[in-house]
Amino acid sequence: MTRPSRDCTLRSKGQHMMRTKARIWSYRSKMHSKSFEYEGGYIFPTKSDIPHLAFCVGRWLFTMPGYELSFSEMGNGMSYGAVQSRGQNRQDILGDVWLKHVYVVFEQSEKPRVGVAQRS
């Protein structure tokens, strides 16, 4: 599925990454995750061996290590995931979890633009 570039937002204060359900469903099934309305998102067993996550932004492929995709432990053997569904939002939000794995350059000009490169 390809989405127009205007539908992605970089957000430095948000801790979560939000992606479309279709793109992350197979990833979540590998972690035995579950959606819980009370917790407000997807949770998974804390001791899960989380695989790396790779996805495209535009035509560029970015990879994040699995150990970074656990946002916080809930104290009951479960962890809240850093990758959550965007629900009905029009935009995917790429927050701190993603931004700390890339180099980003913002150009504030008449035609603002942003450049992103994977960190090694």
Asked if 64 and 95 touch (Cβ cutoff 8 Å), the reply is: no
Boundaries of domain holding 26: 5-118
Summarised one tens digit per residue, pLDDT across range 8-59 is 555 544 444 544 444 444 455 555 566 565 556 777 888 888 888 887 777 7
pLDDT given at position 104? 87
pLDDT given at position 28? 54
pLDDT given at position 34? 61
Residue 20 is part of a domain; what is its CATH number?
Answer: 2.40.70.10
Q: Is the pTM of this model over 0.85?
A: no
Separation CA 32–CA 50 (nearest Å) = 10
Domain count, the chain: 1
Average pLDDT over residues 53-82: 83
Residue 66 has pLDDT above 60, yes or no: yes
Query: Any residues with CB less than 8 A from the CB of 62 and at least 6 apart, and which?
Result: 54, 55, 56, 98, 101, 102, 116, 118
Q: Which residue did the predictor score with more confidence, 70 or 58?
A: 70
Residue 79 has pLDDT above 70, yes or no: yes
Residue 110 has pLDDT above 90, yes or no: yes
Separation CA 98–CA 53 (nearest Å) = 10
Q: How many other C-beta atoms can be found within 10 angstroms of the C-beta atom of residue 28?
A: 17
Residue 75 has pLDDT above 60, yes or no: yes
| Degrees, nearest 5: CA angle 27-28-32 | 130
